[in-house]
Each structure stands twice: as C-alpha cells, then as structure tokens.
C-alpha cells in the first residue's frame, strides 16, 4: 500500500499520492468507477478536484454515496469575490452530494490583482472562512501554477493560516535557481506552520511542441514506465511532500505502482540523464507561466 503521512495539521493520515481528479473531467461514469476501484486497491484515500474540472465533481458523486468515509475530499474555487466563492462552494457540495467538504482551496492564486481581491474585505477568503465556520468545509488551502506560485504562497501564508498549499515540483522546475529558492523557503514556512505541501506536474515532460491542447492533459507527460517511476521516486524521495497524480488517467496505474515502491531517491546526475534522454523541459519559466 502507498505510504500515509499526516496531512499537515488537519489530523488526517493521507496517502502520499493524492488522486488528481482532473482526470475525470470528460470521463464516462462507468470508466470513472473503474478508477475508484484502482484507488481503493492501492490505498489512495485523498481526492483532489476542482469546480473547473469539467464533470469531475459529478463523477465523484456516486463514489461519495458509498465511500464518503474512505476519502479526504478536496475541491477548489477559481472565484476571487466573496459572492462568487460562496456560490462556488455551495455548488460543489451539491454536485458531489456531500454535506461537508474536507478541504476547499483557492485555485491558482498567482496574479497580483486576483490576490488583492481574494484577501479584500469582500473577497473569497471571507467566503472560505464563513464556510468553515458554518461546517460546510473543514480546512482551507491555496494552489498555484507557474514560477510565481511558491513566492505568492509565502505571502498568502503570512496573511492567512491556510492548512495546505499546492504547486509544481519536478526536477526540471527545480533546476531554475529562482524557483528553487522560493520553493525551499516555502517548504521551511510550511514545516514551521505545519502546513501540508502538495505537488503537481511530477511526471511532466514538456509543453506540447505544436502548441495544441491535447485531450488528456494540457502538457505532454512522460509515458515511459521507467521514466515515470524515476520522476515519482524523485518527488516522493523528498520527505513530507504529497504527489498529486496526472490528469492523464492512462498513467494512473503506473504512477501508483511507482508510489508503492519508493526507495532511494534518484541522484541529480541520474535525473539529468533523464532530462537529456526524454527531452524534459520545465513547463513554466519566467514570462511563460500561463497554461
């Protein structure tokens, strides 16, 4: 079974590999139900979805009818205003058929203007706090893509005691000195505050070379099983981090199998060979942070 660790100060023992439910966005229910069987078989007990992930919340609803107690359930809102976030949270509860969401997260809060609105007197943070006070959600988090995510997460934690953060983490991203420095500083902050640290894009190869958006993932993932295994082991080889699975459900079994057998972390030299062998590039660089 996949290792479990305390998810920050929430008190929940979460599987270190979290199911990224973006994979369900355009999926039929029968296929989604087979995904559920895979998660249960590997001991995955934490689901991360979002209001903007197509039909993902609806695909999860039948799961919750039978397995609500088996999963820590997280979703996200992209809204920045109080009214928008409040409506989004209520809609997510209805779509998933649950009275209470375990974790609600501000989705991709990485732009300055959106950050100011969210933390304003009539902003989304106020709606999240209200939802927690009313028992609609239990914990609050913030997520982000791009090279600015780690730095802005640090500002967010200074402003408000979020329970979790989520951001990109892989070897290619951490070869960028600026991003690596911000990530390391954020990790220290999270350790001091007992904030859960979720990572995304662990098996990213690069952006699609023709600039198109493909069906299963907006970026090109690694598909070679050995390359996926090394990438997963590199991420999970860092103590305390959680890894969110890819939106390409075809790779789920490979990722989960790799997560079950984590041993010694691959060296930087070995990972650099992977970069050269598979043409791996960082998904985000300064000036190119947009999905």
What CATH class is the domain 4-278? alpha beta
**DSSP H or E stretch at residue 241:** strand 241-244
Give me the pLDDT at residue 211, please. 63
Residue 202 pLDDT exceeds 70: yes
Residue 262 pLDDT exceeds 70: yes
Give the pLDDT band of residue 69 (cuts 50, 70, 90).
very high
Tell me, yes or no, if the pTM score tops 0.75.
Answer: yes
C-alpha 90 chain-centroid distance? 21
Q: How many C-beta atoms surround the C-beta of residue 234 within 10 A?
A: 22
Q: Give 122 or 211, the one with higher predicted confidence.
A: 122
Residue 215 pLDDT exceeds 70: no
Domain map (residue ranges) of the chain: 4-278
Give me the pLDDT at residue 289, please. 84
- Which percentage of the chain shows pLDDT scores above 90? 93
- pLDDT tens, residue by residue, 237-255: 999 999 999 999 999 999 9
Report the alpha-carbon distance of residue 58 to residue 60 in Å, rounded.
Answer: 5
pLDDT average, residue stretch 180-194: 98
- Alpha-carbon radius of gyration of the chain: 18
Distances (CA, A) of 50 to 103, 193, 272: 11, 25, 33
Residue 38 pLDDT exceeds 80: yes
- Which percentage of the chain shows pLDDT scores above 70? 98
Provide CB contacts within 8 A for 17, sequence distance 6+. 2, 42, 44, 232, 236, 242, 243, 244, 245, 255, 256, 259
pLDDT average, residue stretch 50-79: 97
Q: Which among 165, 177, 178 is positioned nearest to 108, based on CA atoms?
A: 165
Residue with tokens 């920045």: 80
Give me the pLDDT at residue 44, please. 98
Give me the pLDDT at residue 205, please. 97
- pLDDT tens, residue by residue, 128-174: 999 999 999 999 999 999 999 999 999 999 999 999 999 999 999 99
Q: Could you tell me if 46 and 37 are in contact, meaning their C-beta atoms sit under 8 angstroms apart?
A: no
What burial letters (b/e) apply to 84-94, b meaning 16+ CB within 10 Å? bbbebbeebbe
pLDDT average, residue stretch 200-206: 97
| Least confident interval from 14-23, 163-172, 282-291 | 282-291
Give me the pLDDT at residue 168, please. 98
Give me the pLDDT at residue 29, please. 97
Tokens of 5: 């660790």
Residue 207 pLDDT exceeds 70: yes
Ramachandran assignment for 287, one of left (phi > 0), alpha (psi -120 to 50 degrees), beta (any other): left
| Least confident interval from 100-109, 134-143, 213-222, 228-237 | 213-222
Give me the pLDDT at residue 212, please. 62
pLDDT average, residue stretch 111-134: 97
Give the pLDDT band of residue 213 (cuts 50, 70, 90).
low
Residue 183 pLDDT exceeds 90: yes
């Amino acid at each position: 079974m996949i290792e479990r660790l305390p998810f920050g100060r929430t008190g929940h023992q979460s599987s270190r590999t979290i199911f990224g439910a973006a994979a369900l966005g355009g999926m039929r229910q029968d296929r989604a139900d087979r995904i559920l069987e895979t998660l249960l078989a590997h001991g995955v007990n934490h689901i991360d979805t979002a209001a903007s992930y197509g039909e993902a919340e609806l695909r999860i609803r039948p799961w919750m009818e039978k397995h609500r107690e088996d999963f820590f359930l997280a979703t996200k809102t992209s809204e920045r205003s109080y009214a928008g976030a409040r409506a989004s949270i209520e809609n997510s509860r209805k779509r998933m058929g649950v009275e209470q969401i375990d974790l609600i997260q501000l989705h991709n809060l990485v732009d300055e203007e959106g950050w100011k609105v969210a933390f304003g007197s009539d902003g989304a943070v106020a709606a999240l706090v209200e939802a927690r006070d009313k028992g609609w959600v239990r914990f609050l988090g913030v997520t982000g893509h791009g090279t600015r995510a780690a730095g802005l997460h640090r500002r967010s934690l200074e402003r408000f005691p979020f329970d979790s953060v989520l951001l990109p983490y892989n070897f290619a991203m951490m070869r960028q000195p600026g991003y690596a420095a911000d990530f390391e500083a954020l990790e220290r902050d999270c350790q001091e505050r007992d904030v859960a640290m979720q990572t995304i894009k662990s098996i990213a190869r690069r952006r699609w070379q023709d600039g198109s958006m493909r069906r299963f993932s907006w970026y090109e993932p690694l598909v070679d099983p050995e390359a996926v295994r090394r990438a997963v082991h590199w991420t999970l080889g860092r103590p305390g981090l959680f890894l969110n699975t890819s939106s390409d459900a075809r790779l789920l079994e490979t990722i989960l199998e790799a997560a079950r057998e984590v041993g010694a972390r691959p060296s930087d030299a070995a990972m650099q060979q992977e970069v050269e062998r598979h043409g791996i590039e960082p998904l985000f660089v300064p000036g190119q942070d947009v999905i």
